[in-house]
Structure 1
């Protein structure tokens, strides 16, 4: 995907948002749903599970926890892959601190490096990132290529057609409007870029996702739509993540845009009388032919 990591983007990470309880629960549900399909292990057989775009390892730890619950702790090869060296360092530290009987290897790489890193994978996860990939069909075909026959793929997103709980759209519009208003007042020199290419946020419908997965060699696709209740503090934390910032206020320097989004989220909440805003996650579990 070629996301460019800099010292500055390392200050505006996804980690605070991922630390909220609702985020853990949404991903725990997907992990559990995916790993129920895991085949029984034969004696001495190693199961390989990969967490793509693992970031700081929040989902990798959930996978390890679920495997412990399933009493599968021996002969497990758990691999986390991410382009960010800083995220991987944090993931390794978090995994060690969790003190689980399953360890993980964290390897630096882009999605196109996957076939070189892992093959014949029993289960693969790609959580909260598929919306950032411009060519989703190509991404699914790549995942299919690293999976063993009957391999399982767990994937989710809260950036798709259907993610807005009816009636909540006005919150997002007002949040952006208030952020732009704050910038105009406090930093009139800051300019939104009309032509800045925000990350590839083409939102697809649930049915389009199913169609692309089936076209990529997945025989069955299960989907669920789970609502998460996100507090204003949660939205504030998402508004401090550099990829979200660049999508919301393209062209504005990260420190200014982050401040604008932080001030504006509480203004929008207060004006609408809201302390929390629900959002629907699309959860997908696909099984390879």
Structure 2
């Protein structure tokens, strides 16, 4: 993915945003949607599931919970892969705290390392990160290459064309405007980079995702759009995540950008009379031919 972990980015993580209950529910919905397909294929054999870009393990824990709920935890072999060593340490700690007898292994690596690490997996998850990849087709084909026939690939995103609930666009515009205004006032020497356009801002449509799944060798595709109700506090926490800062305020030092987005999100909410802003989440589950 080409994302660079540094001591500074480790101070601006996704974890506080991922801790909000709505985020758990969105991802639990995808996990259940995907593992329902897996249960239909159940032969009693071991089940290998890969959690790509697993981060601090929020989705890994949901997979473990769901397999336990289905009474199949003893069949599970879960492999989490992420480029961040710090995130993986937190992921391992979170799984350990569950106290469940799950076979879980966390591996530091990039998505392109997967074919060397895993073959014939039964399912792969790539949650809340697919929008970060510029070459989505290559990534999907890579996932297909590690899956067994009838293997399941589940991914989701709230960064796609159609993610804005109609009428909420003004919130995002005002949030950005107020953040830029705060920067101009507090740090007049800081300039936004005109050249940088973060991958997270290069959105595609749900139809594009259908085509990418098909071109990657997936047949049946379940696609649903869930709506999450996101509080201003949760938006603030997203605004503390380094990749979001880089997308919203490219070229701005992370500490300044985080503070600007924090101040501005509450200003925007107050001006528009909002305590929360809904957002559409695209949930996709494809089955390999």
**TM-score in terms of structure 1 length:** 0.98
Q: Separation in 1 of the partners of 2:236 and 2:270? A: 14
SS of corresponding position for 2:222: strand
Quote how far apart the aligned CAs of 1:190 are.
1.1
How well do the aligned residues superpose, as a CA RMSD in angstroms?
1.0
Partner of 1:90: 90
1:196 and 2:196 are equivalent in the alignment: yes
Q: Match of 2:21?
A: 21
TM-aligned CA deviation for residue 41 of structure 1: 4.0
Give per-residue Cα distances to partners, 1:230-265, cap 9 Å, x unaligned.
000000000000000000001111000100000000
Q: What residue in structure 2 maps to residue 264 of structure 1? A: 264
Measure the CA separation in 2 of the matches of 1:208 and 1:194.
27
* Separation in 1, partners of 2:112, 2:176: 34
What stretches of structure 1 of length at least 5 have no aligned partner? none
Q: How far apart in 2 are the matches of 1:206 and 1:221?
A: 12
Give the CA deviation at 1:200. 4.9
CA contact (8 A) 2:9 2:242 kept: yes
1:239 and 2:239 are equivalent in the alignment: yes
Cα drift, residue 17 of structure 1: 0.3
Question: Is 2:107 the counterpart of 1:107?
Answer: yes
Is residue 282 of structure 1 aligned with residue 282 of structure 2?
yes
Residue of structure 2 equivalent to 1:143? 143
Could you report, residue by residue, the CA deviation over 1:247-286 in whole angstroms, capped at 9, with x for unpaired residues? 0001111000100000000000000000000000000000
Structure 2, unmatched stretches of 5+, are none
Secondary structure of the corresponding residue to residue 165 of structure 1 = coil
Secondary structure of 1:74's match? helix
Give the structure 2 partner of residue 80 of structure 1.
80
- Alpha-carbon distance in structure 1 between the residues aligned to 2:275 and 2:75: 46
Note the C-alpha offset of 1:196: 2.5
Q: Cα deviations across residues 158-209 of structure 1 (Å, max 9, x unaligned)?
A: 0001100000000000000000000111111111111124235321111110
Aligned to 1:251: 251
CA distance in structure 2 between the aligned counterparts of 1:137 and 1:251, rounded to whole angstroms: 28
| Number of corresponding residues | 288
Q: What is residue 174 of structure 1 aligned with on the other side?
A: 174
Instruction: Quote the Cα distance in structure 1 between the aligned partners of 2:98 and 2:127.
Output: 20
Question: Shift of the alpha carbon at 1:104?
Answer: 1.2
1:158 aligned residue: 158
Tell me what 2:12 maps to.
12
SS of residue matched to 1:36: helix
In the other structure, the counterpart of 1:133 is 133
- Aligned ranges 1:64-79 → 2 under 5 Å: 64-79=64-79
